Amino acid sequence: MTELTLTPQQQAIATFKANLHLPNGGFHKLIVELAREYSLPFQAVRKVLKQSQKVIDKKIKHQFNEVSDFALTQENWLNLIHASLAEQAKNNLPVMEKLQQSQLYQDAIQALSQASENQDKREAVREQLAMAYEIEVYKPLTEMLYTSILYWKLPDDLYQMTAAKQQEFEGYPQHMEAVRHLLELSTNSQDHRQ
């Protein structure tokens, strides 16, 4: 039986891969956590993780003499990931700001300011608020939660976002602030009829 002998480069790659091991679905959990931390879509975060891994792999393969022991650590890999994600997220707007800039939201606010006794107009405002939720809160949140357990629990209907349901998403405070705000506006639109 012959013993397998690794070249120093192969050993470095093996060490690096072993250092990346995240038990119990850790790779997926890491992506979900980073997506939440940086308010970026799951797929964008996943891409950064893979690219950061490739950067180190290429350095091992093509610049092996410049590879330090630290370069092979999980800490270094995570540092590369955080730097890249921070760069991508630097122009992110807070959820409430994006919501308030949306045309659906602005139209709903304008309609609310013209208090109406007309049931159809009040219902139209509620629908605009629901659409604003779908586009500015629900869609970005599903992109962050992609394939996680919470992804399957997130209602696409604003009016199904009960207090109990909001509690499930407390790890996403900006999104839940927007939900509460939209629900409050909806309640105010109903109060205009009294």
Between helices 74-89 and 42-62, what is the axis angle to 10°? 130
- Residues 57, 121, single domain; the answer is no
Domain span including residue 63 = 8-89
Residue 194: the pLDDT is 43
Residue 192: the pLDDT is 52
- Closest to 107 in 3D by CA, of 135, 93, 127, 89: 127
- Residues 84, 101, single domain; the answer is no
- Residues 13, 29, single domain; the answer is yes
- Measured between its terminal Cα atoms, the distance across the chain in Å is 88
What's the total number of domains in the chain? Answer: 2
53-91 per-position pLDDT tens digit = 999 889 888 888 888 888 888 899 999 999 999 999 999
Give the mean pLDDT of the chain.
90
- Residues 85, 99, single domain; the answer is no
Residue 153 lies in a domain: yes
Q: Minimum mean pLDDT among 38-47, 110-119, 141-150, 178-187: which range?
A: 110-119
The mean per-residue pLDDT over the stretch 116-121 comes to 78
120-154 per-position pLDDT tens digit = 888 888 999 999 999 999 999 999 999 899 999 99
Give the whole-angstrom CA distance, residue 6 versus residue 11.
Answer: 6
Dihedral sign from CA coordinates of 67, 73, 79, 82: positive
- pTM, to two decimals: 0.83
In order, the DSSP letters of 109-133 are HHHHHS----HHHHHHHHHHHHHHH
Residue 162: the pLDDT is 96
